[in-house]
Amino acid sequence: MRQRSLASILQGKDLQLGYLKNGKRREVLSHLDFELFTGEMTCLLGPNGVGKSTLVKAIMAQLQPWQGSLNLDGQAISSYSQESLARKMAVVLTEPVFPGNMTVGELVALGRTPYTGWSGRLSLEDQKEVEKAIALTNIVYLKSERLSEISDGQRQKAMIARAIAQNGDLIILDEPTAHLDLVNRFEIMDLLREIALEENKGVLVVTHDLEIAIETADRFWLLTCGNPLLSGSPEDLILSGEINQLLPSKKIQFSPKRGRLEIQDFPEEILISGNEELVYWVRKGLKKAGIQAVPKEIRVQADPFRIIADENTFQSVEELISSLKLS
């Protein structure tokens, strides 16, 4: 079993961030405290507009904090030169910004720019780092493919390989799974966690994928309007109920039992008996169909699947709903 070796790589203390608009200050985040560790994947979650990308901009040294301190590896981020910052930290943003005729191999090699200087010529060591990044992300077969001729998921892996080739201690990704299908979203997040663990890097992922993040992240940072940043393992935040800070509507809540979001107004008054799993899905079907009451008890049987209601037997949830709607 692999052991995580955690070391604090990024620290924010009493941070205040915002923008100047028409000469006026517009504060976005204040009194922000956090610590990011190598050897684990941290997911930053929060509603639209709360300031996640603003925080990423500050970490990338593109936005100067109005107050507080922001340190990378014990040194103020603002004191790094662009080149030395690029050797410490790699960033993957959502939108593809590289020309479509560039090959995957060329893109990953760009990760070595902080080391190659203006010539861009790769040393043997640079080449080794590029190969290693390509192998780690399982895209060896894509090396000669053009960016315009591969899928979104493959391109995202190539972008991650470029960040790995940069070989800093910290990788930051702003919504790396946007536009990807479910399987690719899982795969990318799983890959990022592997990299954090195997390569002992700090990985910070901004994401809206709560359920995938629960499956893959070691730590959550929850950012909600007007509250301090909440940091903890997903499991602890679920058990304490603090995860619901992300869900301002009482109607949609996180179900600790099911490990996912659920609409809370299930018609519990409908009596359904049988295997818990089967009952759950029958109840869900009735809820979605807007059926609030049925005359008598409903029984659900497994092997073969049957729903018995009012002496009638149904072979599917759909059949039951059609019959209830007609009665």
Q: Which residues bind ligand ATP (CB under 6 A)?
A: 19, 21, 26, 28, 46, 48-54
- Residue 74 Ramachandran class (φ > 0 left, ψ -120 to 50 alpha, else beta): left
CB of 307 to ligand ATP, least distance (A): 42
How far apart CA 256 and CA 191 sit, in angstroms, is 25
For strands 298-301 and 272-274, give the pairing.
parallel
Of the pair 16, 301, the CB lying nearest ligand ATP is at 16
Write down the least CB distance from residue 57 to ligand ATP, Å. 7
Closest separation between CB of residue 26 and ligand ATP, Å? 6
Q: Cβ contacts of residue 294 below 8 Å, gap of 6+?
A: 270, 286, 309, 310, 324
273 forms beta bridges with: 299
Instruction: For residue 36, count other CB atoms closer than 10 A to its CB.
Output: 22
Q: Judged by CB, which is closer to ligand ATP: 36, or 50?
A: 50
The residue among 39 and 176 lying less far from ligand ATP, judged by its C-beta, is 176
Our CB check for ligand ATP shows the closer of 39 and 51 to be 51
Joined together, the tokens standing for residue 258 give 């099911």
Q: Which residues contact 174 (CB under 8 A, 6 or more apart)?
A: 52, 53, 56, 91, 92, 93, 94, 206
Nearest approach in angstroms of CB 229 to ligand ATP is: 12
Q: Considering beta carbons, is residue 40 or 175 the nearer one to ligand ATP?
A: 175
Q: How far is the CB of 261 from ligand ATP (least distance, A)?
A: 17
